[in-house]
């Protein structure tokens, strides 16, 4: 189970996805970078209660428990900078929000948003396909709604 599951439901969440699984070397590098970052992540000089998780070797999840100190605009910018640094060092694309991830068997598949309607028409995505809702805002939503069947997601309009 992910350490994110230990965060309180109100903890703020950011999900970054890759179009492919990370290599072992990338996982080690990402983990090192995010450990260093979350260990010193601060807002207005105050340490943030933060953690991260690498999910399905393809998603990075950052979490902050803002009950003690709120993440400021500058501290959020700092988190984006560390993701950009990871992108630059690995060649991964993590900030592109135009791709949709979903399960095909035990594998995560990713398609551009513009191809999702066709994937449904082709039967690649069915009402029972698990999709990833990377727009979740907090740990409670992440625990309950990050993975959801397509018929319970924004894709439900394609199954009417």
What pLDDT digit, counting tens, does each position of 18-70 carry?
999 999 999 999 999 999 999 988 878 878 889 999 999 999 999 999 887 78
Of all residues in the chain, what percent carry a pLDDT higher than 70? 99
The predicted structure's pLDDT at residue 2: 61
Question: 61 has which bridge partners?
Answer: 15, 53
State the alpha helices, DSSP H only, in the chain. Answer: 24-40, 73-90, 116-121, 139-145
Average confidence (pLDDT) over 113-139 = 95
Q: Are residues 35 and 76 in the same domain?
A: yes
What secondary structure, in 3-state letters, does 88-101 show? Answer: HHHCCCCCCCCEEE
Rounded to an integer, what distance in angstroms lies between the CA atom of residue 63 and that of residue 37? Answer: 12
Domain membership of residue 15 as a residue range: 3-90
Is residue 104 located within the same domain as residue 75? Answer: no
Residues 125 and 148 in one domain: yes
Residues 6+ apart with CB under 8 A from 93: 18, 19, 87
CB 29 within 8 A of CB 90: yes
- How many separate domains does the chain show? 2
Q: Examine the pLDDT at 147 and tell me if it is beyond 90.
A: yes
Candidate from 47-51, 110-114, 131-135, 155-159 with smallest mean pLDDT:
47-51
Greatest Cα pair distance in the chain: 52
Q: Over the chain, what is the mean pLDDT?
A: 92
- This prediction's pTM: 0.93
pLDDT at position 10 is 93
Give yes or no: residues 67 and 13 share one domain: yes
Indicate if the pLDDT at residue 129 is higher than 90: yes
55 in the same domain as 16: yes
Section 127-156 average pLDDT: 95
- Which of 63, 90, 117 is the last residue in one of the domains? 90
Residue 75 scores a pLDDT above 90: no
Q: Averaged over 97-106, what is the pLDDT?
A: 94
Higher pLDDT, 25 or 6: 25
């Amino acid at each position: 189970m992910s350490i994110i599951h230990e965060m309180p439901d109100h903890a703020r969440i950011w999900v970054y996805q890759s179009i492919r699984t990370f290599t072992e070397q990338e996982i080690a590098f990402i983990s090192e970078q995010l450990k260093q970052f979350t260990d010193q992540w601060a807002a207005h000089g105050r340490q943030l209660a933060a953690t991260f998780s690498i999910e399905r070797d393809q998603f990075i999840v950052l979490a902050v428990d803002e009950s003690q100190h709120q993440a400021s605009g500058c501290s959020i910018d700092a988190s984006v900078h560390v993701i950009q640094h990871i992108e630059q060092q690995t060649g991964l694309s993590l900030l592109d929000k135009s791709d949709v991830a979903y399960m095909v068997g035990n594998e995560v598949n990713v398609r551009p948003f513009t191809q999702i309607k066709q994937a449904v028409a082709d039967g690649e995505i069915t009402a029972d396909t698990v999709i990833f809702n990377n727009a979740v805002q907090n740990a409670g939503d992440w625990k309950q709604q990050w993975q959801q069947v397509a018929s319970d997601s924004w894709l439900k309009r394609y199954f009417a």
